[in-house]
Structure 1
Amino acid sequence: MSERNGLRYGLVGLIVIALIAGLVLFVSRPVAAPEAVTPAPAQPAAAENAAPTGLQSLAEAAGKAPSHRKLNIQQWQTAEGARVLFVEAHELPMFDLRLTFAAGSSQDGDSYGLAMLTNAMLNEGVPGKDTSAIAAGFDDLGANFSNGSYRDMAVAGLRSLSEPTKRDAALALFDQVIGQPTFPEDALARIKNQVMAGFEYQKQNPGKLAGLELFKRLYGDHPYAHSSDGNEKSVPKISVAQLRTFHQKAYAAGNVVIALVGDLTREQAEAIAGSVSKSLPKGPALPAPGEPQTPKAGVTHIEFPSKQTQLMLAQLGITRNDPDYAALYLGNQILGGGGFGTRLMDQVREKRGLTYGVYSGFTGMQSRGPFTIGLQTRAEMSEGTLKLVQDIVRDYLDKGPTQKELDDAKRELAGSFPLSTASNADIVGQLGAIGFYNLPLDYLETFLSQVQGLSVEQVKAAMRRHLDPDAFVIVTAGPTVPQQPLPPPTDKPAAQPAGVPEH
């Protein structure tokens, strides 16, 4: 859950709610934020009851039940072994390209931070161009390059106009960036300095410290245990030679999923995918990390001077393609994943005023990702709050959701699910996940119907199969102070939430 979008360095993204909830949103949830789009032409009368295939205006949607775009996902493999997923969409004169490599920090070996640095250095230099020239090249074409590195994967993306001269020039530059990075020594030194400055800042962030310790306790010797950013001992040792070796192995054509969405024909998409695939090193897919060992439950405390205490609870969850994913997603929305109105938010914030916010979530990954609960609370009430959270989880697993909670969660999901395909950027991200985690091509069509068909007993059974109230690995970060009893639950708590989380 230290995964973040963009370059894997800098001083942002350090508060723990963004740290963990960000990964949950990226990997676990089926929806994404919408973008401004141009309305599509009205559909013929005969197609009124069919799922829309294009973009809809607010006027068209008025008075109708929420629906999502019906996607015709085309799939093939390039001669070099890259898997391609493509959706043709001509509403906007542009296209989105996303490459998803099995090149995350789980492939670091003993050089923690190697995957992050390799990805961050892609656009720092190519033959004949430095980082400024690369940036200017994309800007002059009205194109945008993006990249990021996470535990499971590394990504590189391009958004460009589909007009042939702009498209071809942007793709030629993109092919160089992903296939011929020069990894300049001076750029590596600069990025290392930025990363090291980030490590120093982390020492002042109890949420970050707790998150790092949580993954160590949860995963032990497994590759997920270490941060995607590496650490202050490992990063300085990484050399340009290591970056080049990692690029040749992990950015190989056989180790990538190519997702394409936009104003392209199938013939044009095949040409783009073929060019991208040829530009990459040749090589096979890398094996996924093995399954982690079940950790020993217990509490670890990090002493930290603060008015609040960070509480983090976790246990091993599921892989992204687990057959119980839909039931667990819905069950967690009721427990703590749906914001206001969840069990945790209602009992911990609304009725007792103990926290500004509390969340829970499954993060499905190649190997078993974590199930996490996180919050900050008053230091003098931290022990009681921790016990309250554990009691809420225990009661929920014992009794399951109510029918009203289930119906409300289904209704909310039905209303928000169309956003998962609201823009080309949303769709290309969905295609990348479908290809990377080997989900069925009709996943976006079947997920909502699976959720809507779930019963209280099915959700309860799935949650109990995958969670144990006595199995939590717990990390707390804050001061050791005398404890006070919790206030009783009330609709108007005397003490208001503790305010915006610290740090």
Structure 2
Amino acid sequence: MLRTLSLALSFGAIMSLAVAMPSRARAIEIQEVTSPKGITAWLVEDDTVPIVNMQFAFRGGSVQDPADKSGLANLASGLLDEGAGDLDSKAFQTRLDNLNIKLSFDTGRDAFYGSMKTLTANADEAFNLTKLALTEPRFDDEPVARIKAQILSKLRSDETDPNELARRAWAKTLFGDHPYARTGDGTEESVEELTGADLKGFAERNLARDNLVVAVVGAIDAETLKGRLDEVFGDLPEKADLKPIADVTAAAGKTAHVDLPVPQTSIRLGGPGIKRDDPDFIPAYIADHILGGGTFSSRFYREIREERGLAYSVGTSLVPFDHAGVWVGAAATRADAAQEAVDLMVKEVKDMAENGPTDEELADAKSYLTGNYALRFDSSGKIAKQLLAIQLDHLGIDYVDKRNELINAVTREDVQRAAKRVYGEPPSVITVGPAAS
């Protein structure tokens, strides 16, 4: 399948963001490539530089961690490139470094991610090392102990980090006993108990062909990629053994406070949102931009930072998980101003729910969001990440063609309707800092 995507860059958008890019439209051809073993990838051929960038993901993520083994996916992400096949950790890492191959893994709540970038001259070795990491990881005692120690050190540091404590309390308050309430990093107790056998079990259950998504950008053609896909992923199990995850509605109207003797109070707001496949997601995305997502133009920024100087950084975001829609607002301010900041944030959320945006706010948001979109495609790495995200969200190979049209078609009534759905209930409020006097 072949799609041609025209990404027009306006002079105004470029200048406002101080990004030096061509002002002419760029045409990007996305090909849907399927290997002989049935592995599908989206490909953008680009021979400008002799580099191949591959981004891939396995649906599942940290929500698949057993309740008593939280942090398992995160630990695995740090160990897949620490020895595989007949190469121990040092030999594997030396091979990557000597050939300037960038291979890494990471986990989110709903997916486990991998990334590989190589010069075409070293492509044979790069694809082979990626295959070994996925199909023959060693999980030797030394690297397991070393990476666990790094994670444990971070977990101990997090115990005095206001932002991390606020993030944890926000998840627990909104999601209760659902897997989304657990931190993907795990706890000191759970990480200490993880073993090489646990890691092997993770790889066997989670890394398979049926939950795999792949995007490739660079100096490689479709026929060559077909062979590479089978080479890297063809020996993985056909089906993943994923446990079902229930949908959950985030809690509204709850409050929580974590006492911490620090000068500032970290604030998190949140509540039920909508998932990515909801017809109101684009209008809600615009509402979020106006409320707090637009860094220098949002209501939160204007009212809380510019007008009153209560916070250096303040904002909101929609978080469309696979099994829940949620929104989050965040700020940090001096402890004696925390309640004032919370009150202002809640007031703006309520006003957005009841009245929606002004015509001027809607026009400005559309202009920014459509003009800025092309900047997500100004490098091979960014293109690959965008194509991966579009596939994970089931948006279709023509989404980049349609995305700005979808935004421009949104009316003020659409945004007001979506804003009422997302912000209509009182938000849950979480604070971390000194106890209120």
Same fold, TM exceeding 0.5?
A: yes
Per the TM alignment, residue 80 of structure 1 is displaced from its structure 2 partner at its CA by 4.8
Q: Does the alignment pair 1:196 with 2:152?
A: yes
Q: Distance in 2 between matches of 1:257 and 1:334?
A: 32
Is the counterpart of residue 475 in structure 1 residue 433 in structure 2? Answer: no
In the alignment, what sits opposite 2:413?
Answer: 457
Asked if the contact 2:8–2:374 (Cα under 8 Å) also holds between the matched residues in 1, the reply is no
User: Does the CA contact (< 8 Å) of 1:335 and 1:396 recur in 2?
Assistant: yes
- Secondary structure class of the residue paired with 2:43: strand
> How far apart, in 2, do the equivalents of 1:276 and 1:356 lie?
46
Q: Is 1:371 matched with 2:327?
A: yes
Q: How far is 1:285 from its partner?
A: 6.9
Task: Return closer, same or farther for 1:147/1:221 CA change in 2, 3 Å cut-off.
Answer: same
1:117-196 alignment to 2 at 5 Å?
117-163=75-121, 166-196=122-152
Structure 1: gaps (5+ residues)? 1-49, 483-503
Match of 1:231 in 2: 187
Residue 439 of structure 1 aligns to a residue whose secondary structure is coil
| Residues 218, 315 of structure 1: 8 Å contact kept | yes
Distance 2:28 2:363 in 1: 27
Contact 2:175 2:249 in 1 (8 A): yes
CA separation in 1, counterparts of 2:91 and 2:119? 20
Contact residue 101 and residue 255 of structure 1 kept, 8 A: yes
Q: Of residues 36, 43, 51 in structure 1, which corresponds to 2:6? A: 51
C-alpha distance in 1, partners of 2:140/2:325? Answer: 35
- 1:97 corresponds to: 54
Which one is further off, 129-138 or 330-339?
A: 129-138
The question of whether the paired residues in 2 share the 8 Å contact of 1:319 and 1:364 is answered with yes
Question: 1: distance between equivalents of 2:249 and 2:365?
Answer: 33
The alpha-carbon deviation at position 262 of structure 1 amounts to 1.2
Report how far residue 73 of structure 1 moved: 2.2
CA contact (8 A) 2:52 2:216 kept: yes
Q: CA deviation at 1:380?
A: 1.4
Q: Percent identity among equivalent residues?
A: 30
In structure 2, the partner of 1:87 is 44
Is the 8 Å Cα contact of residues 319 and 369 (structure 1) preserved in structure 2? yes
Q: List runs of 5+ in structure 2 lacking aligned partners.
A: none
Distance 1:287 1:73, change over 3 A: farther
Contact 1:304 1:477 (8 Å CA) reproduced: yes
Partner of 2:299: 343
Q: Distance in 2 between matches of 1:154 and 1:90?
A: 29
Give yes or no for the alignment of 1:408 onto 2:369.
no
Where do 1:275-424 residues align within 5 Å? 275-284=231-240, 286=242, 289-295=245-251, 297-424=253-380
2:100 maps to amino acid: G
User: Does residue 71 of the first structure (1) align with residue 28 of the second (2)?
Assistant: yes
**Deviation (angstroms), 1:336:** 0.4
Pairwise CA distance, 1:294: 4.2
Summarize the Cα distance change of 1:80–1:61 in structure 2 as closer, same or farther, 3 Å threshold. closer
Are the aligned partners of 2:316 and 2:329 in contact in 1 as well (CA < 8 Å)? yes
State whether residues 70 and 445 of structure 1, in contact with CA within 8 Å, keep that contact through their aligned partners in structure 2.
no
Cα pair distance change 1:59/1:156, threshold 3 Å: closer
Say whether 1:108 aligns with 2:65: yes
Q: What is the rounded CA distance, in whole Å, between the counterparts of 1:59 and 1:177 in structure 2?
A: 38
Partners of 1:89 and 1:207 in 2: CA distance: 40
The answer on whether the counterparts of 1:254 and 1:285 sit within 8 Å (CA) in structure 2 is no
Distance in 1 (alpha carbons) for counterparts of 2:161 and 2:409: 43
Closer, same or farther: CA 158–59 of 1 in aligned 2, 3 Å: closer
Q: Pick closer, same or farther for the CA change 1:312–1:159 going to 2, 3 Å.
A: same
Partner of 1:61: 22
CA distance in 2, matches of 1:106, 1:77: 29
Q: For residues 267-326 of structure 1, what are the alpha-carbon distances to aligned partners after superposition, in whole Å with 9 as ceiling and x for unaligned?
A: 011111111221323324736622014425221111111222111111122223322222
Greater fraction of residues in strand:
2
Cα distance in structure 2, aligned partners of 1:291 and 1:199? 28
Once residues 376 and 282 of structure 2 are traced to their aligned partners in structure 1, the CA distance between those partners, rounded to angstroms, is 15
C-alpha displacement at 1:468, in angstroms?
Answer: 2.2
CA distance in 1, matches of 2:216, 2:265: 45
Cα 1:423/1:288, change in 2 over 3 Å: farther
**What is the Cα deviation at residue 413 of structure 1?**
1.9
Q: Secondary structure at 2:210's aligned position in 1?
A: helix
Are the aligned partners of 2:51 and 2:120 in contact in 1 as well (CA < 8 Å)?
yes
Q: Aligned partner of 1:424: which letter?
A: S
Distance 1:303 1:295, change over 3 A: same
Q: Using the alignment, how far apart are the partners of 1:384 and 1:360 within structure 2?
A: 18
Take 1:207 and 1:311, find their aligned partners in 2: how far apart are those partners?
8
Deviation at 1:264, TM superposition (A): 1.2
Q: Which residue of 2 aligns with 1:267?
A: 223
What letter matches 1:134 in structure 2?
Answer: F
- Distance in 2 between residues matched to 1:200 and 1:89, nearest whole Å: 44
Residues 307-363 of structure 1, C-alpha deviation per residue, up to 9 Å, x if partnerless?
221111111222233222221211111110011121111111111111112110101
